[in-house]
Chain A
Amino acid sequence: MSTVIETRGLGKKYGRRWALRDCTLAIPAGQVVGLVGPNGAGKSTLLHLAVGLRTPTLGVITVFGGRPADSPAQLGRAGFVAQDTPVYARLSVADHLRMGAWLNPDWDGELAARRIERLGLDPHQRAGSLSGGQRAQLALTLAIAKRPGLLILDEPVASLDPLARREFLQDLMEIVAEHEVSVVLSSHLIADLERVCDYLVVLIASQVQLAGEVSELLAEHRRLSGPRRDPGRLPASQEIVEETHTDKQSLLLIRTSEPILDPAWAVTPVSVEDLVLAYMRRAGSAGGARRPGLEVVS
């Protein structure tokens, strides 16, 4: 599998605090990848390192095999939409596009102009007076018009209302349909990620707890409920992600690629949201101790 982002033992320290520590992961190319995890997991730091806004304290990060922001060509390969989609409040929409054209060697002015027109933005309007949704669309326009191979978005829809959020994601997916671009998107809104992502990475305390294609993750996880039972006696092919027991009943979330044959279990599918929450709780109940990643994407 070819990758867009790879890290090995990556660490970033702000003052005396490690924001990211010993992070090793590989993010596949040609997909829309969702990055989820609790606050403080290091998601934003990882994305900032990937676009070269920060430099690592330790370890290595590569984007398309090269150091981020190493050269103008390398800079052009990643487009970035930062958290809350910041724009220059006093500059007009047209000013933003002109700036994009000055700063980016491969700027696609036609694409930018077409998008602004289709989105119904007034080129003379100051960015400061745009709605949250329009601001996000402008930031996305700037990022895509540099024609990057990788688009990185850090919580792009967190501050948008549900309708603006849906419109933004729809727009983003249309971009994916039109251009050959890999996308890495961080969000707390897991239901949104389930819609738009084909690959999911769950990052907790700098460690990858779960990574894989969304459709495979859904196919492999099942909730079992039935009479109380000793979890040690489950088939070896069933990995327990989460378990709750009462004196009579056992409720399990398991990962397996085999069919579940035991007729005593009632078996139901698990949504992506429940899945992510279960892995987060599992990492949390390890006492905040740093655990090795369950799986390293390869």
Chain B
Amino acid sequence: MIEFALDEGSGVATYLQLAQQVRQALRLGMLEPGERLPTAQQVVARLAINPNTVLKAYRELEREGLVRARPGQGTFVLRALPGTDPAVQARFLASMTGWLRSARAAGLGPDDVEAIYHTAFRDCFAEGVA
């Protein structure tokens, strides 16, 4: 069973934070198919948040086909999220490192790089909450 934690005042809606934490747990293998998510009551008792918020997060995950609610029993994990292939990760790490080296050689500092990264990221993912 996973435990949720909240980042208060982050400006990210609570239900999105919960859904994100479930996805992360699925990706890391901390949650497996067939496992039950905490009930709304259990999450409420721990975090003092609105039960509707928990249900909203679970509905979102259900829409994505990751979990299914069984009436009277709870919400269960349907499938794991595949982690990214290590070889693919290594490839992108290498090309990113190369890019950063050339940026530094061109005189860009960490802040410049961060600003460029955020702009490019935003263009690419068009505001989607990552």
Residues of A near any B CB (own CB < 8 A): 31-32, 166, 169-170, 173-174, 176-178, 191, 194-198, 214-215, 218-219, 259-261, 263, 266-274
Question: In the complex, what residue of chain A is closest to B54 when comparing beta carbons?
Answer: A177
Complex contact A195–B49 (CB within 8 A)? yes
- Per the CB 8 Å criterion, the residue count for chain B at the interface is 29
- Shortest beta-carbon contacts, A-B, top 8: A269-B11, A215-B13, A170-B48, A177-B51, A259-B127, A271-B9, A173-B44, A218-B13
Interface of B is mostly: helix
Which of B6, B12, B40, B52: most chain A Cβ within 10 A? Answer: B52
Cα distance A178–B6 in the bound complex, in angstroms: 23
B80 interface residue per 8 A CB criterion: no
Residues of B near any A CB (own CB < 8 A): 6, 8-16, 40-41, 44-45, 47-53, 56, 115, 118-119, 122-123, 126-127
- Distance from A200 Cβ to chain B, minimum over Cβ atoms (Å): 12
Residues of chain B contacted by A198 (CB below 8 angstroms): 50, 52-53, 56
Complex contact B44–A270 (CB within 8 A)? no
Interface of A is mostly: helix
Question: In the complex, what residue of chain A is closest to B126 when comparing beta carbons?
Answer: A259
Question: In the complex, what residue of chain A is closest to B11 when comparing beta carbons?
Answer: A269
Residues of chain B contacted by A166 (CB below 8 angstroms): 48
Complex contact B48–A173 (CB within 8 A)? yes
Complex contact B12–A32 (CB within 8 A)? no
Cα distance A66–B6 in the bound complex, in angstroms: 39
Question: In the complex, what residue of chain A is closest to B118 when comparing beta carbons?
Answer: A266
Residues of chain B contacted by A176 (CB below 8 angstroms): 44, 50-52
Complex contact A214–B115 (CB within 8 A)? no
Cα distance A274–B9 in the bound complex, in angstroms: 9
Q: List 27 A-B contacts (CB under 8 A).
A: A31-B52, A32-B50, A169-B48, A170-B48, A173-B44, A173-B49, A173-B50, A174-B44, A176-B44, A177-B51, A194-B14, A195-B6, A195-B8, A196-B49, A198-B53, A214-B14, A261-B123, A261-B126, A263-B119, A269-B11, A269-B12, A270-B11, A271-B9, A271-B10, A271-B11, A273-B9, A274-B11
Residues of chain B contacted by A169 (CB below 8 angstroms): 48
Residues of chain B contacted by A214 (CB below 8 angstroms): 13-14
Complex contact A191–B8 (CB within 8 A)? yes
Cα distance A36–B104 in the bound complex, in angstroms: 49
Question: In the complex, what residue of chain A is closest to B42 when comparing beta carbons?
Answer: A177
Cα distance A214–B11 in the bound complex, in angstroms: 10
User: Can you add 10 more A-B contacts, CB < 8 Å, to A177-B51, A198-B56, A263-B119?
Assistant: A170-B48, A174-B45, A177-B41, A195-B8, A195-B14, A195-B49, A215-B14, A218-B11, A271-B9, A272-B9
Cα distance A267–B9 in the bound complex, in angstroms: 16
Identify B48's interface contact among A196, A215, A271, CB under 8 A.
A196
